Amino acid sequence: MPEIRSIVRERVVTASPDTSLTELAERMEAEDVGSVVIVTDDRPQGIVTDRDITIETVSQGNDPSSVTAEDVMSDDLVTVDAESGIFDVLRAMEESNVRRIPATDSDGRLAGIVTFDDFVILLGRELRLLGDVVEAEIPPYEHT
């Protein structure tokens, strides 16, 4: 079974637990991402998404500069080993109802992140290759 190492994004936007939501939002905008992994000593502790920031500030009426990542990050962070199989990661995403999962190395340090979008792109590429194989094996279509 293919490992997620083939699609894991090694460049991950990170922050410390004491980072304000304002700063997190600025990082997300600058890096064009929808989440920031919260780390301590290179080990993932939680994740904050753009949705978390919106719900915590706008809907709750909080000042984003006074709320920190630790205040809103997921407490039950789901991680996977960077050597995990693709289907194991998809199963973990489904069971945990998450769209992003940090990948860790054998020492528990952040090795990357895998997102639902990465799987959609992978599936699209694989379907395109399958289509090419099928198309090469069938007679050409006659259009009238």
Burial of 140 (0-12, 13-18, 19+ CB in 10 A): exposed
Helix axes 116-137, 86-96, angle to 10 degrees: 130
* Cα torsion angle, 95, 70, 80, 31, sign: positive
The torsion angles phi and psi of 31, rounded to 5 degrees, stand at: -95, -5
Q: 15 forms bridges with which residues in the sheet?
A: 38
Instruction: Report whether 63 contacts 53 (CB < 8 A).
Output: no
Model confidence at 126: pLDDT above 60: yes
* Tens-digit pLDDT profile for residues 59-97: 888 888 899 999 999 878 999 999 999 899 999 999 999
Q: Residues, the chain, total?
A: 144
Model confidence at 1: pLDDT above 60: no
User: Which residue segments constitute the domains of the chain, with CATH numbers given?
Assistant: 4-137 (3.10.580.10)
